[in-house]
Amino acid sequence: MDENTQKDRIRGSLIGGAIGDALGYPVEFIYSYAEIQARYGERGITRLDVSQWWTNEDGSKGKAWISDDTQMTLFTACGILNAKAQGSAPLPAICEAYLEWLYTQMGRRPRFRQCWIGEIPELNQRRAPGNTCEDALRSILRGKDPHNHSKGCGGVMRIAPIPLYGMAQGRIPEIEDLDMLAAEAAKLTHQHPLGYIPAALMAHVIYRLATDEAPTRDAFSYYIKEGLETCARLFPRYPDEVAYMRQLAEKALSLATAELPDVKAVESIGGGWVGEEAVAIALYCASRHFGDLEAALIAAVNHAGDSDSTGAITGNILGAAVGYAVIPSFYKEDLELLDVLLQVADDLWQGEHVD
């Protein structure tokens, strides 16, 4: 794969995830599809909403807001790049980056500043941060292990930069190392096995799609099955949890070929509030609408669940297959921090931050 294609795939995954996040953010806390339709029309929300009607603020500058999902994704990217720059292990650097994000949510200046994105105003705003993420990171800040048993999707929704960094220029050729690092990064805050095993599967699929010259739906299905087999090897202590992740993934692939409206298929998988459901919903949407990022994102966010996270994960996965160039311009034009996202995507390819 040539350099330009690699860069395009990394951009596609990172910006695709941010678009899915921003598309789903306004409806994350609308708890029925009928209510979404009442506000946005029969097809639900299909374009980025720049009004911020669901917040008490109006500082969008005509752009659709990202949520905590994309904030934390960007800090994941900075963490792994910091590790490369320092010649240190990636997981501690990712953890330090998450602590910097925590300070942005507390309205305090960190004791340390290693992530250049920490100065960006939009990343210092509270965009519905997850309680588990905040509580776990506060524990780490105090030198304590979080000791939670959460399997919320807040662990999986932020890990896309790990496989993207690893695939760039063949930097980390051992895919199992990336899968495990993604799981460990999720486990920093979400310590139930289903809070981090789905992160390994997500990383595996993103890596495979991003390195495939011409990915197809059949290849996508194979990568999912391969990823599940890898999870079984990586997590032998948790056969039941891996089996349940497999069950949901197989259900998602089966539904993708069924004659069922997207909202019914998605809601039959779950609400996406927990890791395994969020990833399975994204697998369904990406498979059902393989090659069509717009349709996949619309399917991913129009349901009565955790719409921004399912949108973000779907965008990360399918964006790795289709790339950035084909993303509709109306999504790019209305997305906040597009320039920052593009910079971070290119940094991931380069392996360092370039001013």
CA-based max dimension of the chain: 54
Task: Find out whether 346 is annotated in a ligand binding site.
Answer: no
| End-to-end CA gap in the chain | 26
In the numeric block, which tokens belong to residue 316?
């990360």
Query: DSSP state, 145?
Result: -
In the numeric block, which tokens belong to residue 328?
């509709």
The CA distances from residue 16 to 37, 113, 183, 234, 261, in Å, are: 23, 28, 21, 28, 23
Task: Find out whether 21 is annotated in a ligand binding site.
Answer: no
In the numeric block, which tokens belong to residue 335?
């997305």
Q: What SS3 class is residue 191?
A: coil
Q: Which amino acid is at 260?
A: L
Answer yes or no: are the C-beta atoms of 187 and 196 closer than 8 Å.
yes
Count of other CB atoms within 10 angstroms of residue 222:
12
In the numeric block, which tokens belong to residue 10?
């990394």
Closest by CA position to 201, among listed 237, 162, 170, 240: 162
Q: To which residue do tokens 């040539």 refer?
A: 2
Answer yes or no: are the C-beta atoms of 12 and 327 closer than 8 Å.
yes
Q: How many residues does the chain have?
A: 355
**β-strand partners of 64:** 335
Closest by CA position to 98, among listed 84, 110, 86, 85: 110
Task: Find out whether 69 is annotated in a ligand binding site.
Answer: yes
Task: Find out whether 67 is annotated in a ligand binding site.
Answer: yes
Task: Find out whether 68 is annotated in a ligand binding site.
Answer: yes
Helix (H) or strand (E) holding 256: none
In the numeric block, which tokens belong to residue 6?
């690699």
Query: Which alpha helices (H) appear in the chain, and where do they start and end?
Result: 3-24, 33-40, 68-86, 90-106, 131-141, 161-167, 175-187, 193-211, 217-234, 239-255, 262-269, 275-288, 293-301, 307-322, 329-334, 338-350
| Residues of each annotated binding site for Mg(2+) | 67-69, 306, 308-309
| Residues of each annotated binding site | 67-69, 306, 308-309
